[in-house]
Amino acid sequence: MTDITAVDAWEVLDSRGNPTVRVRVDAGDATGQFTVPAGASTGAHEAVERRDGGDRYGGRGVREACAAVRDDLAPVVVGWSVTDQVGVDEALVDCDGTENLSTLGANAVLGVSGAVAHAAADATDRPLYDVLAPDSGPGAMPMPMINVLSGGLHAAADLPIQDFLAVPVGADTYPEALETVWEVRRAAGARIGSGEHPPPVADEGGFIPPVADADAAFELLVDAIRDAGYDPGREVAIAVDVAATHFYDADRDRYDLAGETLDRAAMIDRVVEWVDAYPVRSVEDPLAEDDWTGWERLADRIGDRVQLLGDDLLATNAGRLDRAVDAGAANAALIKPNQAGTITRTRRVVDAAQAADWAPVVSARSGETCDATIADLAVGLDAGQIKIGSLARSERLAKYNRLLGIDRAYDGDFAGCDALAPW
């Protein structure tokens, strides 16, 4: 029996203590739950979650999204087979009636879509990564890029750059990748904190360094890599999420970077300087979400030697990915299911990225719960890379630990550093 018999939704709290949507789908005795994450540095082109106007942060909107699941979406999907993810997802999108899911809310739609996938796994007695995989089967264990230092909108700090991450490019297995970055993280913490006062941490558990300057943060991370006994670049490389949209001033067409005002050309030069000066292998959102000219120019300069990863630029949206591929504006796509709005849309963006020979990087949001679905998604879709946050917060560890379980249960290869663009 795989037909959906009941759908319920209720409000739970995420890692920032903000409300979010949890959905439960039953198919007879089988059941699945999914909890929707939420971003802080959200892009303008993401599917639209229902959150505004709350009596506390987002509260009323989230309750409305839960009511939309129960009152609008449940009647549409009850009776549908949980194994028909594509059919269910199309019915959910049709019910909303808008491209960006703004009628019922992307958090309502994705909640049901994700819970259906979990219910399908339970109903068919298969692991979720296998249910999400194509007919050819699941893929490799992903290479993680792991947050060590945080700034931007995720930290109450002066550092404007959002994430400085370690990529354990020398690791041969997924467990070794975690162990490597754990050592780097400990070394970074020892440099920032003192014995009595541990370093402050940001939304994703990365340390907030006492610096405002990007170069100082890069240097700190390089030193931490060395302190931990690794060769920067060869064994542990750096990834950075500049999250430039939040310090771009559209009225003046300028980037306001820690007290400096940079025009497009100067911002591009700055990113190239970072890539030249430090062992950077991946740069996410170095320019604002609609600065297509800037992205194309930067890709011309460094796209053949560094992974240029679009997050706000692409917003896990098939149309924006097509445009970016045609323009040669990047070479990798961040994949966030709640930007897309359904599991099927997410899968299609991953497929399109892979077809264009771009690297997909499955990503958590800064507001998360212990839902670990993205771990299964990364393996099932053979994304090759995953970005979850730091190694010291339970909502992040739920996913890292799920991957350790998958690694134990499933004899897949480790994607390793070959997963990073450009190839």
Ligand X SMILES: O=C(O)[C@@H](CO)OP(=O)(O)O
Task: Find which of Mg ion, ligand X, none residue 235 binds, CB within 5 to 8 Å per kind.
Answer: none
Write down how long the chain is. 423
Distances (CA, A) of 279 to 288, 365, 382: 23, 25, 26
Catalytic residue among 336, 368, 395, 399: 336
Instruction: Compute the least distance from the CB of residue 285 to Mg ion, in Å.
Output: 5
Distance CA 35, CA 199 (A): 30
Q: What angle do helix axes 394-409 and 174-192 make, rounded to 10 degrees? A: 150
Tell me phi and psi for residue 24, to 5 degrees: -120, 130
For residues 176 and 168, the answer to whether their CB atoms sit within 8 Å is yes
How many residues interact with Mg ion (rule CB under 5 A)?
2
DSSP three-state, residue 360:
strand
Our finding on whether 203 is near Mg ion (CB under 5 A) is no
Please say if 336 is a catalytic residue: yes
CB of 284 to Mg ion, least distance (A): 5
CB of 411 to ligand X, least distance (A): 30
Alpha helices per DSSP H over 69-152: 74-77, 85-96, 106-124, 128-132
Asked if 382 interacts with Mg ion (CB under 5 A), we say no
Q: Is 311 annotated as a binding residue?
A: yes
Closer CB to ligand X, 138 or 151, in the complex: 151
Specify the residue for token string 């990087």. Answer: 361
The verdict on 311 binding Mg ion (CB under 5 A) reads: yes
Contact 120, 80 (CB under 8 A): no
Which does residue 366 touch among ligand X, Mg ion, none (CB within 5 to 8 A, set by kind)? Answer: ligand X
Q: How far is the CB of 154 from ligand X (least distance, A)?
A: 6
CA angle at 171 for the pair 166 and 172, rounded to the nearest 5°: 155
Is 307 within any annotated ligand binding site?
Answer: no
Q: For ligand X, which is the closer residue by CB, 146 or 381?
A: 146
Whose Cβ is closer to ligand X: residue 74's or residue 181's? 181
**Minimum distance, C-beta of residue 260 to ligand X, in the bound complex (Å):** 22
Q: Which residue is nearest to ligand X (CB)?
A: 39
Cα separation, 354 vs 333, in Å, equals: 10
Question: Which is nearer to Mg ion, 239 or 372 (by Cβ)?
Answer: 239
Confirm whether residue 387 is marked as ligand binding. yes
β-sheet bridge partners, residue 11: 21
Shortest Å, Cβ 331 to Mg ion:
16
What element of type H or E holds 32? strand 30-35
Is 399 among the annotated ligand-binding positions? no
46 is in an annotated binding site: no
Asked if 148 and 188 count as a contact pair (C-beta separation under 8 A), the reply is yes
| 270 contact, one of Mg ion, ligand X, none, CB 5-8 Å limit per kind | none
Applying CB under 6 A, which residues contact ligand X?
39-42, 162-163, 204, 241, 243, 311, 363, 365-366
Active-site position among 46, 49, 183, 204: 204
Q: Which is nearer to ligand X, 346 or 363 (CB)?
A: 363
User: Is 365 known as a binding-site position?
Assistant: yes
Q: How far is the CB of 243 from ligand X (least distance, A)?
A: 5
Is the Cβ of residue 8 or residue 290 nearer to Mg ion in the bound state? Answer: 290
CA pair distance 11, 228, nearest whole angstrom: 42
- Residues 125 and 38 sit within 8 Å (Cβ to Cβ): no
Q: Is 162 annotated as a binding residue?
A: yes
Q: Considering beta carbons, is residue 22 or 270 the nearer one to Mg ion?
A: 270
* Per-position x/- string for 213-252, each x denoting binding to Mg ion as judged by CB under 5 A, each - no binding: ----------------------------x-----------
- C-alpha 270/C-alpha 263 separation (Å) is 11
What is the three-state SS of 49-83?
A: CCCCCCCCCCHHHHHHHHHHHHHHHHHHHCCCECC
Backbone angles phi, psi at 124, to 5 degrees: -100, 0
Query: Does 249 count as an annotated binding residue?
Result: no
Any idea which residues carry the catalytic annotation?
A: 204, 336
Q: Binding site for Mg(2+), residues? A: 241, 284, 311
Binding region for (2R)-2-phosphoglycerate? 162, 336, 365-366, 387
Binding positions are: 162, 241, 284, 311, 336, 365-366, 387
